[in-house]
Amino acid sequence: MMARVITLENVTRRYGSFTAVDRVSFTAKPGLVTGFLGPNGAGKSTSMRIMVGLTSADEGRALIGGHAYADIPNPSRHVGVLLDASAQHAGRTGREILRLSADTMGVGKERVEAMLALVGLDGVEAKRRVRNYSLGMRQRLGIANALLGDPSVLVLDEPVNGLDPAGIHWMRGLLRSFAAGGGTVLLSSHLLHEVEMIADEMVLIGRGRIVAQGSKAELLQTKGTYVKPLETGALAQALAAAGIAALPSGDGAFRAEADPVDVGRAAAAAGVVLVELRPAEGAGLEEMFLQLTADDAREPLQTSAPQAPTATPGAPR
Ligand SMILES: Nc1ncnc2c1ncn2[C@@H]1O[C@H](COP(=O)(O)OP(=O)(O)OP(=O)(O)O)[C@@H](O)[C@H]1O
């Protein structure tokens, strides 16, 4: 039985002068659901395509169970892949698509029926052409296809896209039980709360770079300070002068990377009046993510923006 860890080591992919994936390293371990989170265009799909050998890396390598995907014999029996749920053959029915896959993998017809039932596409849906499926139904079919070969690893690009809340809940149960059975799950999303609901571990990517990784608990916990001044600019200066990193937290407030005492001292030293000062609540991940998203919405020429945090709490190295 092959070990089931997904490992990326310094994976880099360029398109011309643009670096879509920049020295990305992380692991996704058996028994856990790992969420690969980042705004649109962050490099999630490119990284996942590299993992399953559909795109080549310019540098670094991606291994599954210690092997490059391309070197795994009959890979669908080990690694279930869902990359683009809309790419399935529109003119065929759900059942036909799975039967074709099953033939390629050497899997029996019973498994097709079992997977259709598992994803709730048995009955009339199995006989409908995929062009008439909703996005949620395509995702379910894509999951059925990924599970068809009874793999021990799942690589799923935006599997929750298009699912309604009940669908997300269902997906969560499915992926959690897969992981509980010792499987490895890596799923990408650009929606923080969806990943938060499903994943145990999170890897945050922005502009091709990993900006944070760790367990959900580690990433959600913040050790910083929420501080709201009377005058935003004055506090920003006071914190900068004291060498305390801070991110805007909306409404003129900041989340500062220091204890409340030190933030209070820095403000007092500069004569800045505070209207609120308290330990930050578990919004660190959310702020990091908003920051990433905001960075991407920004004009590339603007350089005075605060940098996205590069902390990697709980990172293995
Ligand atoms: N074949 C390609 N040629 C040129 N640029 C590409 C190619 N594939 C991806 N890119 C660029 O690489 C960057 C990362 O794209 P990627 O699809 O990996 O992001 P993503 O995180 O999956 O985003 P989304 O959430 O929108 O799917 C984007 O800027 C994209 O335009």
Domain 6-212, classified CATH 3.40.50.300, yes or no? yes
Q: Which CATH number is 223-280's, of 3.40.50, 2.60.40, 3.30.70, 3.30.230?
A: 3.30.70
* Closest atom of ligand 1 relative to the 38 alpha carbon: 21
Taking the centre of ligand 1 as the mean of its atom positions, its distance from the CA of residue 214, in whole angstroms, is: 24
ipTM: 0.94
Distance CA 127, CA 317 (A): 50
Share of the chain above pLDDT 90, in %: 61
Query: 202 CB under 6 A from ligand 1?
Result: no
Q: What is the pLDDT of residue 282?
A: 59
Taking the centre of ligand 1 as the mean of its atom positions, its distance from the CA of residue 133, in whole angstroms, is: 26
Predicted confidence (pLDDT) at residue 15 exceeds the cutoff of 50: yes
Mean pLDDT, the chain, rounded, equals: 87
C-alpha distance from residue 307 to each of 148, 210, 229 (Å): 43, 14, 21
Distance CA 34, CA 214 (A): 9
**For the chain, which residues make up each domain, given as ranges?**
6-212, 223-280
Mean pLDDT, residues 99-105 taken together: 93
177 CB-near residues (< 8 Å, 6+ apart): none
Taking the centre of ligand 1 as the mean of its atom positions, its distance from the CA of residue 38, in whole angstroms, is: 12
* Sheet with 254-256, edge to edge strand ranges: 246-248, 254-256, 225-229, 274-279
Q: What is the pLDDT of residue 162?
A: 83
Joined tokens for residue 190: 């650009």
Handedness of CA 155, 162, 122, 33 (dihedral sign): positive
CA nearest neighbour of 153 among 203, 81, 204, 74: 81
